[in-house]
A and B are shown apart, each in its own frame.
Chain A
Amino acid sequence: MTLNQLTAHEVVNLIKKKKITAYEVMQDIFNQIDKVDNLIKAFLIINREEALRQAKEIDAKVKNGEELPPLAGIAVAIKDIIATQGTETTCGSKILKGFIPPYNATVINKLREAGAIIIGKTNMDEFAMGSSTENSAFGPTYNPWDLERVPGGSSGGSAAAVAADEAIVALGTDTGGSIRQPASFCGIVGLKPTYGRVSRYGLIAYASSLDQIGPITKDVTDCALIMKVISGHDNMDSTSVNLEVPDYLKYCQAGIKDLKIGVPMEYFIEGIDPEVKSALNRTLKIFEKLGANIEETSLPHTEYSLPTYYLIAIAEASSNLARYDGVQYGYRVEDYEDLSSMYQKTRSEGFGSEVKRRIMLGTYALSSGYYDAYYLKAQKVRTLIKEDFDKAFSKYDILIAPTSPTPAFKLNEKVSNSLTMYLSDIYTNPINLAGIPAISINCGYSKSNLPIGLQIIGKHFGEGTILRAAFNFEQNNDVEKKKPSIKSAKHKEATE
C-alpha cells in the first residue's frame, strides 16, 4: 500500500502522529500521477514543485510542534473552472488557453488556510457543458475502471484523479449533476451542496442560478471534512448564505433509526439499467435494516425537469459566455477586418461545438419574441419542480434515488447526439433546479465491474443529514469496496 491510497482523514491523523510525513504522501501522489496519468489524463496542469515545497512546510510545522490546520498536507486536485492565482485556468476551452487568474477563488483561499495543498488542475467538459469530459478542448479523460469508458462529466478529471489515487480529494462543480454523475461513474463520493452554501466567487460561471462547488472524495468522512472547510458566507458572493456551518463530521456519528426516507417512483422507470435498479433495491434493504422508515413517494413533474434545466442553463450560459470576446483575456484571432469580425472569429475559433450549440440555443431562447415561450416558461416549471420537493420534504427527511440511469458508457457512444447525452443527467438536474443538496456514493458494481452510484437528496441546508445517511450506509454496505485496477493492456494495443 502506498500513501496516495489513503483518505484525507487517515493522512491528517498519521501526519499528526508523526507516522508519516506530508512530503512522503506528496511523493507517492506524484509517483502515481507519473505512473497512470498518461492513461487516465485527469490533469491539465500539475504543480509539482510548489506542492512539494508546501509539503515540507507542513512537515516543519510538525517538527516544531505547531498546531496543524484541519487539512494539513492533503493533496487536492481542482477542477479547471475554479480560479487559482498564478496557475493557468482554462475551463477546458481553447478560448481561455493561457489565462492566469490574478486572484484565487474563495474556496481556494479556504483550502489553503486549512493546510491543503493544490497539486493541479483537472480536465473537464468545456465550460462544464457535458456529461463525459469528452468536450474538453484538450482531449478526453479516461475512466480508471475501464479505459474505454468515460469518467462522466463535467468534473470527470477530478473524479478520475481521486478514483485512481492521483489525488487525496478534489473539488468539482455541479450545475446539473457534474459532481455526482462522475463520482458515480468512478465509484467514489461527490456532494453538491445547497445553492448558496459554498461561495461561487472565482468559479467561472456557466449557469449562475444552478452552479455550486463541492467535494469529490474517497469516503463520506472526507466529504464532511471538506464541506466544513469550504462552506460559509462570503462577502464576495452575494448569493452565498449567512448561516452557521455545522460540524458535519459530528452529524455522521449518529444512527439513522429516526430517518424517514422517500423513494421517488419516477426515478425508477424508463431507461434505467436493470443492474442499477437491482443495486438500488439492495441498498434500500440496508437502510431498512438500519431502522429507517422507507416509503415510495412521487415527484410528479420529474419528466419536465430535463427540458426545464436545459432551457435555464443555456439561457444563463449564453449571457455568461458573452464576456469571451478576445479583449481582456484569453484567445484572440490574429486576422480580422474590424471589431465585430474580431469578436466573431475569436469566439467561433475559441469555443467548441457543444458550447456554441448551447450559446446559440440560449441566445435564441432569450431573443425578442421568444423569452416568454422559453425562459419564462422554464422558470415557471422550475417552481413546480421545486414545489414537488417541498411537498416530499414535508413528509420525509431524505430521498433516495439512483445517481445516473446507467454505469459509465463508452467513449464516442453519445457525443453525436446531444439529447441522449443530456439524458445521463436525468436524475441529477432536478436537484439543481430545486437548489437542494445531494450526495452520490458508491453502492455496488455491475457484472462488468463498473461502479454504480446511489444518490441521497436532502432539504435546503440539510447537508448534515445526507452525510449521516451516506456514512451509515457506507459503514454497513454488504458489498466490499474496491479500487480500480487501471489496466493498460488494451489501451496500449489500440495505440500501437
Chain B
Amino acid sequence: MTEKIITKKEVEYVAKLAKLEFNEEEKEEFTSQLNSILDYFKKLNELNTEKVEPTAYVISMLNLLNEDKVKPSLSQEEALSNSKYVKKGYFKVPKIM
C-alpha cells in the first residue's frame, strides 16, 4: 500500500477545479489510482535540481510577432456552426446571475 498523498477530500476539491463530478465509487477509485501515480512521480525527488533551469520549450525562440495586418478569418456563421445553442448570433448558455 502506497502512502496517501492525496485524500478523498482533496480529490473532491480538484474535481471542482477541473469542472468534473464523480460518484462515491469513482471518488474512491480515483483517490487510490491518483495516489499510486503520484507516488510514482516522487521518483523525481531523487534528483537535486536546485541549480537546473526549467525547460518549457526545446527549441530556443524569441517572441515571434506577426505583421499587424488584417487577414481573413472565420465568419460569424462558421464560428457558430458547431453549436446547437445559438441565438441572434451568440452562443446561448444558462443564466449566470
A and B interact: yes
Which residues of A pack against B, CB within 8 Å?
98-100, 102-103, 194-196, 209, 235, 238-239, 241, 301, 303-304, 307-308, 310-311, 318, 322, 325, 327-330, 332, 336, 338-340, 342-345, 347-348, 351, 356-357, 359-361, 363-364, 367, 374, 376-384, 386, 418-419, 433-435, 460
Chain B: minimal CB distance from A206 (Å)? 16
Nearest opposing residue in chain A for B29, CB measure: A353
* Residues of B close to A98: CB separation below 8 A: 82
Contacts A/B (CB < 8 Å), 9 sampled: A235-B66, A310-B41, A327-B93, A328-B82, A328-B91, A329-B83, A360-B20, A363-B14, A377-B44
The list of the 10 closest CB pairs from A to B, nearest first, reads A435-B58, A379-B54, A329-B82, A380-B49, A102-B78, A363-B18, A380-B52, A382-B55, A343-B19, A383-B55
Chain A: minimal CB distance from B42 (Å)? 8
Known: A380-B53, A381-B47, A384-B47. A338 touches B83 (CB 8 A): no
Chain B interface, DSSP helix/strand/loop, else mixed: loop
Nearest opposing residue in chain A for B6, CB measure: A364
* Residues of B close to A328: CB separation below 8 A: 79, 82-83, 91
**Pair B56/A379 contact, Cβ less than 8 Å:** yes
A307-B43, A344-B19, A419-B37 are known; give 19 further A-B pairs, CB within 8 A.
A102-B79, A195-B58, A209-B57, A239-B57, A318-B18, A336-B94, A340-B19, A347-B19, A348-B21, A361-B34, A364-B38, A367-B17, A377-B45, A379-B54, A380-B55, A381-B44, A384-B49, A386-B55, A418-B37
Interface centre among A102, A322, A433 (most CB of B within 10 A): A102
Q: Which of B14, B22, B61, B84 contacts A332 (CB 8 A)?
A: B84
Q: How far is the CA of A382 from the CA of B34 in the complex (A)?
A: 22
Nearest opposing residue in chain A for B77, CB measure: A102
Interface set, chain B 47-97, CB cutoff 8 A to A: 47, 49, 52-59, 61, 64, 66, 74, 78-79, 81-85, 91, 93-96
Chain B: minimal CB distance from A361 (Å)? 6
* Residues of A close to B19: CB separation below 8 A: 322, 325, 340, 343-344, 347
**Pair B59/A460 contact, Cβ less than 8 Å:** yes
Q: How far is the CA of A382 from the CA of B11 in the complex (A)?
A: 27
Known: A238-B64, A384-B52. A342 touches B93 (CB 8 A): yes
**Pair A360/B34 contact, Cβ less than 8 Å:** yes
Chain A: minimal CB distance from B48 (Å)? 10
Q: How far is the CA of A196 from the CA of B58 in the complex (A)?
A: 9
**Pair A377/B49 contact, Cβ less than 8 Å:** yes
Chain A interface, DSSP helix/strand/loop, else mixed: helix
* Residues of A close to B37: CB separation below 8 A: 310, 361, 418-419
Chain B: minimal CB distance from A215 (Å)? 20
Chain B: minimal CB distance from A49 (Å)? 22
**Pair B95/A360 contact, Cβ less than 8 Å:** no
* Residues of A close to B56: CB separation below 8 A: 209, 379
Chain A: minimal CB distance from B85 (Å)? 7
Nearest opposing residue in chain B for A383, CB measure: B55
* Residues of B close to A374: CB separation below 8 A: 41
Nearest opposing residue in chain A for B75, CB measure: A102
* Residues of B close to A304: CB separation below 8 A: 43-44, 46-47
Q: How far is the CA of A383 from the CA of B54 in the complex (A)?
A: 6
* Residues of B close to A460: CB separation below 8 A: 58-59
Q: How far is the CA of A303 from the CA of B44 in the complex (A)?
A: 10
* Residues of A close to B84: CB separation below 8 A: 332
Q: Which of B10, B59, B66, B96 contacts A339 (CB 8 A)?
A: B96
Chain A: minimal CB distance from B23 (Å)? 10
Chain B: minimal CB distance from A311 (Å)? 6
Chain A: minimal CB distance from B7 (Å)? 12
Q: Which of A99, A235, A359 contacts B18 (CB 8 A)?
A: A359
**Pair A356/B41 contact, Cβ less than 8 Å:** no
**Pair B52/A360 contact, Cβ less than 8 Å:** no
* Residues of A close to B30: CB separation below 8 A: 357, 360
Q: How far is the CA of A414 from the CA of B50 in the complex (A)?
A: 36
* Residues of B close to A338: CB separation below 8 A: 94-96
Q: How far is the CA of A308 from the CA of B40 in the complex (A)?
A: 10
Q: Which of B43, B59, B78 contacts A435 (CB 8 A)?
A: B59
Q: How far is the CA of A361 from the CA of B5 in the complex (A)?
A: 12
* Residues of A close to B36: CB separation below 8 A: 419
Q: How far is the CA of A235 from the CA of B67 in the complex (A)?
A: 10
* Residues of B close to A348: CB separation below 8 A: 20-22
Interface centre among B49, B56, B66 (most CB of A within 10 A): B49
* Residues of B close to A308: CB separation below 8 A: 44
* Residues of B close to A103: CB separation below 8 A: 74
Interface centre among A241, A351, A357, A380 (most CB of B within 10 A): A380
* Residues of A close to B82: CB separation below 8 A: 98-100, 102, 328-330
Q: How far is the CA of A196 from the CA of B74 in the complex (A)?
A: 25
Known: A102-B79, A325-B19. A239 touches B43 (CB 8 A): no
Known: A100-B82, A328-B83. A360 touches B55 (CB 8 A): no
Q: How far is the CA of A332 from the CA of B94 in the complex (A)?
A: 12
Nearest opposing residue in chain B for A460, CB measure: B59
Nearest opposing residue in chain A for B13, CB measure: A367
Q: How far is the CA of A103 from the CA of B73 in the complex (A)?
A: 10
Nearest opposing residue in chain A for B53, CB measure: A383
**Pair B54/A382 contact, Cβ less than 8 Å:** yes
Q: How far is the CA of A328 from the CA of B11 in the complex (A)?
A: 28
Chain B: minimal CB distance from A241 (Å)? 6
